[in-house]
Structure 1
Amino acid sequence: MSIKILVVNPNSSQKVSDNLAKILSAPPLVEFTFYTGPASAPKEINGTQTSIESEQVVLPDLLDKNVIEKYDGFLICCYSDHHLIHSLGKHTKKPILGIMQATLLYSLLNPSLHKLFILTSVSEWEPLLDQAIIDFIGTSQEFPTKKFQKTKALNVSVLDLSNEEEFAKIKNQVDHFVNVEYANDHIDCILLGCAGMAGLDSKLSQAFPQIQFIDSVKVGVEFLTSIIRFNKENILS
């Protein structure tokens, strides 16, 4: 049973898509196609407004390309509660998964994890992702401090996160968050909260071996593949 997944980069940066293609390995019998938003989509998504602009450009482009008929599922590679997840879902019952949702599922399903936080690109995302955690878990307006600490930003552009010359800065920032700001929390997991961080999990794991770094795109692929397989085998269309 072959599975076709469309990996959607909802911004217009080909660099981000190329990095995703480089680090992702398809599970057995799974085929990836990588989509990059049109030139009129934002180059990077750094908050609510660019997320809305992205959805307004990408949704009609996807529908024009008739992707719903061509693929079994869709991975939305913007680490947020991106509008495209919901608007595309109005056009199909096929599985659609955002990479943020995939990491939150992983963290909640893993009882061995003590305390974690989301590592994001720029500070504009911090309150938005903290609220997204609240909304996803369904704790009204109370932040779930038993499992999570507040989101922290590197203040590195999405387009620069994969640059080798930025890694020393990223590592120093993570060290400060873990060993200074959150020293009393005994952080043992960090969710890499941006598609532009794809591939950083292995580098950061070497620098901080006591911490699990969860690549949102890799875990998203695994969850989405499982959902598609389950639906194909158990859900009548």
Structure 2
Amino acid sequence: MKLLIINPNSSEKVTNNLKGILRSPENVNLSFYTAPSNAPKEITGEKTSKESEIIVLKDIKDKNIANDYDGFMVCCYSDHPLVRSLSELSKKPVMGIMQATLLYTLSNPNVTRSFILTSTSEWESILDKAITNYFGYKEFPVNRFQKTIGLNINVTNLADKEEYGKIKKKVNHILNEQYKNDHINCVLLGCAGMAGLDSKLSTDFPEIYFIDSCKIATEFLIGLVRFNKQL
């Protein structure tokens, strides 16, 4: 099985972090793609999401990349339009990392209530809207989720060792003060730049599930590809 892990921004730093975190299961080959240099360096909202989709989809078409892989993962934590357009182009499974974490909250019966921890506050309302739309609700599903919170750390710096102290302090405040009475036991790491933080945070907050969006998306994508081959 050949899977393409797509970083839809042009930051090689983010891609290199993914390469260091994601491991190929037996009989699965992971290849990594970074958007061309004219794509946004960082995806900050709907405008840059659309810009990155246009650039990446054209590059994939021009290079005929879609024919070489069994499935694709889009590593932007949002309702990124590339998930749908690449699926239409390739007719193969495409998994977005946000969608994978939301599926996880439904598939794990031990999860009581979750929230998304993301890079910056600009994403908070966008991701809350994405949750609502994903589940097909008219209002935010407060029985399953609390509102998204941004760390206000640049996406390309989230995996830096020197930033972890700030992240730990913020998570401690959220869990033990801000959302203290909200029965949170699952935190969705809402950015590809957070890849690898799950193990550190799980050590410091062992009673909480910290879900690495890229790791869980890889597992769901493998399952989809395997299942589709049986159809």
Same fold? TM cut 0.5: yes
1:150-183 CA distance string (max 9 Å, x none):
0000000000101111000000111111111100
Does residue 158 (structure 1) correspond to residue 142 (structure 2)? The answer is no
Partner of 1:216: 213
Alignment of 1:1-40 (within 5 A): 3-40=1-38
**How far 1:89 moved relative to its partner?**
1.9
Count the aligned residue pairs: 231
Give the AA of the match of 2:143: K
Partner of 1:167: 164
1:135-154 CA distance string (max 9 Å, x none):
111112x1111110000000
The alignment-based identity, stated in percent, is 58
For 2:168 and 2:183, the matched residues in 1 are separated by: 18
Partner of 2:60: 62
What secondary structure sits across from 1:118 in the alignment? Answer: strand
Could you tell me whether the CA contact under 8 Å between 2:2 and 2:28 is conserved in 1?
yes
Give the AA of the match of 1:67: I
Could you tell me whether the CA contact under 8 Å between 2:155 and 2:191 is conserved in 1?
yes
1:30-58 CA distance string (max 9 Å, x none):
00110000000011111111111111111
Alignment of 1:96-111 (within 5 A): 96-111=94-109
Q: 1:95 aligns with which of 93, 99, 115?
A: 93
1:107-161 CA distance string (max 9 Å, x none):
0111111111000000110000000000111112x11111100000000000010
Alignment of 1:59-138 (within 5 A): 59-138=57-136
Give the AA of the match of 2:95: L
Q: 1:45 aligns with which of 34, 43, 46?
A: 43
**How far 1:186 moved relative to its partner?**
2.2
Partner of 2:198: 201
Give the AA of the match of 1:227: L
**How far 1:92 moved relative to its partner?**
2.2
For 1:89 and 1:229, the matched residues in 2 are separated by: 16
For 1:216 and 1:96, the matched residues in 2 are separated by: 14
Partner of 1:179: 176
For 2:26 and 2:135, the matched residues in 1 are separated by: 31
1:167-225 CA distance string (max 9 Å, x none):
00000111111111100012111000000000000000111111010000000000000
Partner of 1:145: 142
What secondary structure sits across from 1:38 in the alignment? Answer: coil
Could you tell me whether the CA contact under 8 Å between 2:67 and 2:90 is conserved in 1?
no
Ranges in structure 1 where 5+ consecutive residues have no aligned partner? none
What secondary structure sits across from 1:27 in the alignment? Answer: coil
For 1:114 and 1:164, the matched residues in 2 are separated by: 30
What secondary structure sits across from 2:90 in the alignment? Answer: coil
Give the AA of the match of 2:37: A
For 1:224 and 1:90, the matched residues in 2 are separated by: 16
